[in-house]
Chain A
Amino acid sequence: MNLTRSGFLRFLTAPLVLLSRRRACAAPNRRWALVIDNRRCMQDAGCSACIQACHRAHNVPRIPDARHEVKWLWKERFQNLFGAEAVPVAAQNRLALALCNHCDNPPCTRVCPTAATWKRPDGVVMMDWHRCIGCRYCMAACPYASRSFNWIDPKPYITGPTPDFPRRTKGVVEKCNFCEERLAVGKAPACVEACPERSLVFGDLNDPQSEVRQLLNSRFTIRRHPELGTRPSVFYVV
């Protein structure tokens, strides 16, 4: 038998090649992402349509005491989101949206002792409010302050509850769920739909034809704290 060098290497690597072909043949993975076009967003003029839509759809309580506040989507100063050095001086005090980044490498799911928060294959970082024991380790681990805890019973602070979505009990952590309940029926997230300026673009990062992918290809975008290795799925056009 005449064994050549390249033939020998092919023989050694055959299982790897087979494995990679199988992965390539499998159904393409989705990875949901949100691009926030901050040039279009008119929040400084007092618009908060996205926040209202989100908080109404998800029964987020409006608690006046800032210590006990629960928020999924909110406005934050640019310099607080990205650090003062990351943005031009003129833009530092501008407001931008803050929400769960649905990280590709989320620290919150890593620390959860009960897997009450986990990342789906499509990138959505989920929460199970029936499993959460309220240890708040995920809040300590999140570098974006995206998580809220129900320090008190939220029910008295929910105005006009949406019956389709569960209300939370006291003692559990919650956050933005990328509207997984809407994604399941083929709808875009509530905030994206509510924006009058169409400044929020949602789509599949792995689809080269998707609007988010094309925006990322053509625009300069930034993510929050890329140095921490979390790889957020929320991008900002500045």
Chain B
Amino acid sequence: MAPEDKNDGKNDGKNDGKNGNGSIVTLSGITKTFYRGKEPIPVLEGLDLDVPTGSFEALMGPSGSGKSTLLNIIAGLDRPTKGTVKVAGSDLTHMSDGELAKWRSQTIGFVFQSFNLIPVLTAAQNVELPLLLTGLSSAERKKRVATALRVVNLEDRMDHFPRQMSGGQEQRVAIARAIVNDPKIIVADEPTGDLDRKSADDVLHLMEQLNKEFGKTIFMVTHDPAAAERASVQRKLDKGTLV
């Protein structure tokens, strides 16, 4: 489905993309412990979280508070040591790595701090990457790429390589890549961290637009209070618990 279409909340046609309580993310009793050798390092401790469908939430907190770990668990990149994770109607707790990868490709749109575009591919090819995992025809893929780039206002930069673009433009291409598959939720890890104020504003404005106009749920980790203010909900994580 193209990004201009409103999300109908369905997940593989098997569920409504919600966890039964109107939330798109439901975390229960999440504990995450890392180990340095045999020494346990608790990062998240008994955390519960509900993110309503269609919300734009910002998660703040000091370095080492577990923000990125929480984001990785929501995005299906990491598993909790204890607790259950339900996102967009799917229980991620018992999914295999392969199932999680497939689920991510259909459900999650990623926006990273350092854009993470592939330098040898053009803007259009970078945006097309997630579509290679679908069975779409080349013509259909091109159509969707053009739509996604139009949403981020970079249609004219389609054939530019990342090195030929500014940081703000690169991040907008990354957002186009995140939405091209029409994900149910967009997770953003410090999306404005590497940008100047003006570019950061543009990116945040775009994210607001995706949330308000296209109904995308956005969960954003940020250090930047100005960025957090643009979200409809601000949460704070400290020492592994939400405060």
Say whether A associates with B: no
